[in-house]
């Protein structure tokens, strides 16, 4: 089975899911322009941003995930544009986005592209797992886990407005080790 088919199978006939709590807390900070939702999955975060008046480009590797998101966005008449793409070779034009949201996806090589893609005043919100997560659950692969203090270094060139890391309790009661950041491109960046 191909990697894409594995992701399609994972997303097929699954509910969209709840918005990431850190994004719920930070959504008011997102400029009301164009945002990129990185590895958007079935679109839980894309839909929340669109409901808040943000136009969203949602990118994911899974065709099934993007179909689910497209149907949900159409049903609510939301400004969401689902794009099926491999983020390893997805081009993002410099200075083209007001926001980038990257939740539960870690590809370190993409962060310099994210920094360049933001317009002055634009923000990057990233929220994913810390290395400690391997002790208590998924994911366990260190390639997908941040080291302590690593996330601020990945957004070098942006002004960090909020940074947290540690054990968090999710609304459903589950616990996870996470690192979360809001960083803004200033006029001087």
With a CB cutoff of 8 Å and minimum separation 6, the contacts of 5 are none
φ, ψ dihedrals at 98, nearest 5°: -90, -20
Q: Any idea what DSSP says for residue 130?
A: B
Mean pLDDT for the stretch of residues 17-22: 91
Q: How many angstroms separate the CA atoms of 131 and 122, rounded?
A: 28
**Residue-level length of the chain:** 189
User: Exposed, middle or buried by CB within 10 Å (0-12, 13-18, 19+), for 163?
Assistant: middle
Convert the pLDDT of each residue in 74-115 to its tens digit: 999 999 999 999 988 889 999 999 999 999 999 999 999 999
Classified by CATH at the fold level, domain 3-184 comes out as Rossmann fold (3.40.50)
The tokens of 171 are what? 């609304």
pLDDT in tens, 36-52: 999 999 999 999 999 99
At residue 129 the predicted structure's pLDDT band, cuts being 50, 70 and 90, is very high
pLDDT at 11 over 70: no
């Amino acid at each position: 089975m191909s990697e894409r088919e594995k992701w399609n199978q994972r997303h097929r006939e699954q509910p969209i899911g709840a918005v990431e709590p850190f994004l719920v807390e930070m959504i008011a900070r997102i400029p009301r322009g164009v945002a990129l939702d990185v590895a958007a999955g079935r679109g839980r975060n894309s839909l929340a941003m669109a409901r808040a008046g943000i136009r969203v480009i949602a990118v994911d590797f899974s065709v099934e995930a993007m179909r689910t998101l497209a149907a949900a966005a159409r049903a609510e008449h939301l400004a969401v544009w689902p794009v099926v793409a491999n983020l390893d070779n997805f081009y993002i034009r410099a200075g083209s986005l007001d926001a980038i949201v990257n939740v539960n996806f870690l590809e370190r090589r993409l962060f310099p592209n994210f920094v360049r893609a933001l317009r002055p005043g634009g923000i990057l919100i990233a929220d994913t797992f810390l290395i400690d997560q391997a002790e208590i659950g998924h994911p366990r692969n260190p390639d997908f886990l941040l080291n302590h203090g690593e996330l601020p270094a990945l957004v070098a060139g942006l002004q960090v407005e909020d940074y947290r890391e540690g054990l968090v309790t999710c609304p459903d009661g589950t616990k996870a080790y996470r690192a979360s950041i809001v960083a803004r491109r200033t006029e001087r960046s």
